[in-house]
């Protein structure tokens, strides 16, 4: 096991450098004065270069091959075999992209980001179009370097959802879309049945903060192993299995951003906090994919956080915190308000029902741009036509339409699908959790979340990156990622709320 030990030590050092870079990034988003940006970009660039060089060095490859030989015959489920498997895959992927290309990509995306910010602010798609062409050209080149057998998009998707194929995701989404579009249409005809005005009142920020802390501590977020700060774009960041931090934001006139945003990031954090401590300082000590990660944030934010069961216990507490605003508002009115469906232009503000349609539109457009069947110049028209077809609304400006997302200018092409996959996985896991532990709902009604959290830890969290996303879902639920569970959940919940 001598070589294996050497490999682990090398990977631990790479991990340490990446965690240090993570801390610089966390600080950049939470504490850093604006003038620190340039120096910080240099420091981050240097650290990621050092980590990358150590990772792709021939010596790393030699250690992986020798350790694999040493461990020949180790069981598939052992930490050792999983470490070799995942490290081998990461190593091969990282070696496929030439360093000059990685540098070009990071230079171009820094530039593209500036162009996008300006074009979005000024509602000028034409000003962003040449840059967008460039970003998709770079993505096509990345796909060629990374390699694929079927569609170049496979290579891009694989960076964010390892092992998933475009055709597989397309089949899942096509099935989902067939049922989701009519459901959105049916709800759209009865939007007046739910009113969320009670959420749009003046809510003191400190009280919002204290209440959201009470909720996430009940979920199991441990302030000895994490902390909560403010950030413009909330995120969760892992420095160690014993230090996973989240950020949130507050709106004095709207309860949702802090309350549900904090629950969302807590879902991400509980995943990282639940990884087996034996995997600390290895590449396995993290979530297995963006999709599975999003399944955890959505599960806590939506399936738990927007359930009647949870608010049976917590609503009287919330009323006590905001007696003037909510004292006269019944539980049922509040429950319906937090589950309002409203087809709208902006993805990040979308509700549970309409969200996945925003994703499908982007998933389709990305493939068409990569495949060359759609021209960048035609993008706004295609975007708006699909918004109309899927959601029944057309954005009045490109700022509220095709220019809204940061992803394409940040070279994150192939990423969007993971959000909708997360929705699907969240319900698949939830159904299985309830089948295994039927007392979870009554526990939640009492404000007890340990049963659910421990089930997730035992079945999902502790494995870290040992299994690929579809493989993990199969191991836990007995089948691959599918849309039936999610549609069943939406139809039951929203059928009741909207009287369908
Ligand atoms: Zn998330």
CA of 412 to the centre of ligand 1 (A): 15
pLDDT at position 357 is 97
CA of 208 to the centre of ligand 1 (A): 20
Beta bridge partners of 243: 240
pLDDT at position 102 is 87
Model's pTM, two decimal places?
Answer: 0.96
pLDDT at position 495 is 97
Catalytic annotation present for 59: no
- The architecture (CATH level 2) of 166-498 comes to Orthogonal Bundle (1.10)
CA of 406 to the centre of ligand 1 (A): 15
Contact 315, 334 (CB under 8 A): yes
CA of 79 to the centre of ligand 1 (A): 27
φ and ψ at residue 458, rounded to 5 degrees: -65, -35
CA of 405 to the centre of ligand 1 (A): 15
Residue from 9, 144, 179, 265 carrying the catalytic annotation: 265
pLDDT at position 99 is 84
* Domain-wise residue ranges, the chain: 2-122, 166-498
Q: What is the mean pLDDT of each run of 10 residues along the chain (500 residues)?
A: 96 97 93 90 89 95 97 95 97 92 87 93 97 97 95 96 96 97 97 96 98 98 97 93 97 96 98 98 97 98 98 98 98 98 94 97 97 96 97 97 94 96 98 98 98 98 97 98 98 97
CA of 341 to the centre of ligand 1 (A): 20
CA of 8 to the centre of ligand 1 (A): 30
pLDDT at position 103 is 84
pLDDT at position 153 is 97
pLDDT at position 179 is 97
Rounded to whole angstroms, the Cα distance separating 478 from 233 reads 36
Strands 243-248 and 228-230: parallel
pLDDT at position 106 is 85
Rounded to whole angstroms, the Cα distance separating 157 from 166 reads 7
pLDDT at position 233 is 87
Closest alpha carbon to 153 in 362, 352, 381, 447: 362
């Amino acid at each position: 096991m001598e070589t294996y030990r050497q490999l682990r030590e090398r990977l631990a050092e790479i991990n340490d450098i990446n965690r240090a870079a993570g801390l610089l990034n966390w600080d950049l988003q939470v504490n850093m004065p604006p003038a620190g940006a340039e120096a910080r970009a240099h420091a981050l660039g240097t650290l990621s270069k050092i980590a990358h060089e150590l990772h792709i060095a021939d010596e790393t490859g030699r250690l992986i091959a020798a350790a694999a030989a040493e461990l020949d015959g180790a069981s598939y489920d052992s930490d050792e075999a999983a470490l070799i498997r995942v490290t081998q895959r990461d190593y091969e992927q990282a070696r496929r992209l030439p360093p000059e290309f990685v540098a070009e990509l990071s230079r171009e995306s820094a530039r593209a980001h500036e162009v996008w910010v300006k074009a979005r602010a000024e509602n000028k798609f034409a000003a962003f179009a040449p840059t967008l062409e460039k970003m998709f050209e770079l993505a096509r080149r990345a796909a060629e370097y990374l390699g694929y057998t079927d569609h170049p998009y496979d290579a891009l998707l694989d960076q964010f959802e390892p092992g998933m194929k475009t055709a597989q995701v397309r089949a899942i989404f096509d099935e989902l879309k067939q049922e989701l579009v009519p459901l959105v249409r049916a709800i759209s005809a009865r939007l007046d049945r739910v009113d969320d005005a009670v959420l749009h009142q003046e809510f003191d920020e400190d009280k919002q903060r204290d209440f959201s802390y009470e909720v996430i501590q009940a979920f199991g977020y441990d302030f000895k192993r994490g902390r909560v700060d403010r950030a413009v774009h909330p995120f969760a960041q892992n420095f160690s299995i014993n230090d996973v931090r989240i950020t949130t934001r507050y709106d004095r006139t709207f309860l949702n951003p802090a309350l549900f945003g904090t629950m969302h990031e807590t879902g991400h954090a509980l995943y990282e906090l639940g990884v087996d401590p034996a995997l600390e300082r290895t590449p396995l000590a993290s979530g297995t994919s963006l999709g599975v990660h999003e399944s955890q944030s959505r599960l806590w934010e939506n399936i738990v956080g927007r359930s009647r069961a949870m608010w049976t216990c917590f609503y009287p507490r919330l009323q006590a915190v905001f007696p003037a605003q909510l004292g006269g508002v019944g539980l049922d009115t509040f429950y319906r308000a937090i589950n309002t469906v409203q087809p709208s232009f902006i993805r990040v503000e979308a509700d549970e029902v309409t969200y996945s349609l925003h994703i499908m539109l982007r998933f389709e457009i990305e493939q068409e741009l990569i495949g060359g069947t759609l021209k960048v110049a035609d993008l706004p028209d295609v975007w708006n036509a699909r918004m109309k077809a899927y959601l029944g609304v057309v954005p009045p400006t490109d700022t509220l339409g095709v220019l809204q997302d940061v992803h394409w200018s940040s070279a994150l092409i192939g990423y969007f699908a993971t959000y909708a996959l997360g929705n699907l996985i969240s319900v698949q896991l939830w159904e299985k959790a309830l089948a295994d532990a039927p007392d979870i709902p009554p526990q939640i009604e009492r404000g007890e979340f340990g049963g659910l959290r421990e089930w997730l830890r035992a079945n999902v969290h502790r494995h870290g990156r040992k299994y690929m996303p579809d493989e993990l879902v199969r191991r836990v639920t007995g089948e691959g990622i599918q849309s039936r569970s999610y549609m069943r959940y939406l139809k039951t919940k929203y059928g009741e709320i909207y009287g369908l």
